Structure 1
Amino acid sequence: MSLLQVHNISHRFDYLLFENVNFTLAPKESMAILGVSGSGKSTLLHICSTLLSPNQGTVIVCGHNIYEGNDDTRLKLRRYDVGIIFQSHYLFKGFFANENVELASVISDKSIEQGILERLGIAEFMHYRVGDLSGGQQQRVSIARVLAKKPKIIFADEPTGNLDDKTAQEVMNVLFEYVEKENATLLLVTHNHQLAKQCTYMRHLHVDGLKEEA
């Protein structure tokens, strides 16, 4: 059974951003989406992750046609089945790092493994206030917050943009291992070709759809 199905998605603002986007992802699969700045990569990710309705097309997440259902369906998916890693971390800055992660656990009735915090290199910083952490540390806390939910699908928008190459690779290793262990799916937007090549599929977004990356 596919976890994510995208059929004939098109979107425009005052101009056509992209059209005829189609793909399917099954458990344990991952896809990297590359493209020039402004090609609509983040917009496509938002459409696939329940945040933005497309102008045309169908998105099926965990068996639910998300833009034919009601808001309750999308909220439930975001609470339990969908994890979104944004370019900006969107942590609660007045909270401690561990409180941000624990909040996700409370909402989803799941919990994160201590080993993941250690692999992400943030175990020793979990009792720091978010405002006292570096940008890279905040980004890794936001990734831990998503993994604490144990989602079926992870949508990641430049999750390693604030990290050095070694740390970025370790973070991606954690995500790939999670996908394999939990029978989950990863949709990744990135400019990093080396990381993109490690996904099951690598596609380039053009105005006329997704193309296979050479």
Structure 2
Amino acid sequence: MSLLQVQNISHAFDYLLFENVNFTLAPKESMAILGVSGSGKSTLLHICSTLLQPNHGEVLLCDHNIYNDNDDARLKLRRYDVGIIFQSHYLFKGFFANENIELASFISDKKIDNGILERLGIADFMHYRVGDLSGGQQQRVSIARVLAKKPRIIFADEPTGNLDDKTAQEVMNVLFEYIEKENAALLLVTHNQQLAKQCTYMKHLHLDGLKEDA
């Protein structure tokens, strides 16, 4: 059984970004994607997570061929099965931290695991407005918001970019523990080689696809 199958994906804007990208992710597996700036790592993540249709190829997500499905089917996947952690957290800054997290829980009909708030080190900031939090605290709130949905697969674009090394490792531990406990999967874009090596797979994105070597 696989949660994510990527088959012969190619994409270009005014120039070719990458082609012939193929991989599979099963429950409890994680994959880190590395590459030089501009290689298309975030674009590939967006393609896999229903946000951007590729020029060529297919993406099967939780047994759905997402770009053959209609918009309603993709929205349902995004609501219940997909969690996306962006480089920019996209929190509602006028809301309190707990309101951002509770909204995700409400939309997906899932109960918040308060233990995750403790593990992420943000339990004491729940009644702060998001705009009053530091960048690192906001990023951890955005991660908690995703985990509150209890998604089957998490797409994370530089989720530790605003964090010091110790906090970054703690956050990754929470993500790894989550996919193990919930039979979920994690697709991670990162520049951090040390974090990438902890994933089940570590791949580098090149013009001609994903490779093991740098």
- The TM-score with structure 2 as length reference comes to 0.99
What are the Cα deviations for residues 56-109 of structure 1, in whole angstroms up to 9, with x where unaligned?
A: 000000000000010001100000000000000000001000000000000000
Match of 2:193 in 1: 193
Counterpart CA distance in 1 for 2:199 and 2:213 is 12
Match of 1:177 in 2: 177
SS at match of 1:24: strand
Give structure 1 regions of 4+ aligned residues with deviation exceeding 4 angstroms. none
Q: What's the offset of the Cα at 1:213?
A: 3.3
Counterpart CA distance in 2 for 1:213 and 1:72 is 39
SS at match of 2:68: coil
SS at match of 1:8: strand
Counterpart CA distance in 2 for 1:213 and 1:121 is 35
Counterpart CA distance in 2 for 1:112 and 1:4 is 25
Matches for 1:1-214 after TM superposition, within 5 Å: 1-213=1-213
Counterpart CA distance in 2 for 1:153 and 1:72 is 19
Structure 1: segments with no counterpart, 5+ residues: none
Structure 2: segments with no counterpart, 5+ residues: none
SS at match of 1:87: coil
Counterpart CA distance in 2 for 1:130 and 1:111 is 21
What are the Cα deviations for residues 157-213 of structure 1, in whole angstroms up to 9, with x where unaligned?
A: 000000000000000000000000000000000000000000000000000000013
Q: What is the letter of the counterpart of residue 43 of structure 2?
A: T
Counterpart CA distance in 1 for 2:180 and 2:26 is 11
Counterpart CA distance in 1 for 2:213 and 2:165 is 22
SS at match of 1:162: coil
What are the Cα deviations for residues 4-38 of structure 1, in whole angstroms up to 9, with x where unaligned?
A: 00000000001100000000000000000000000
- The TM-score with structure 1 as length reference comes to 0.99
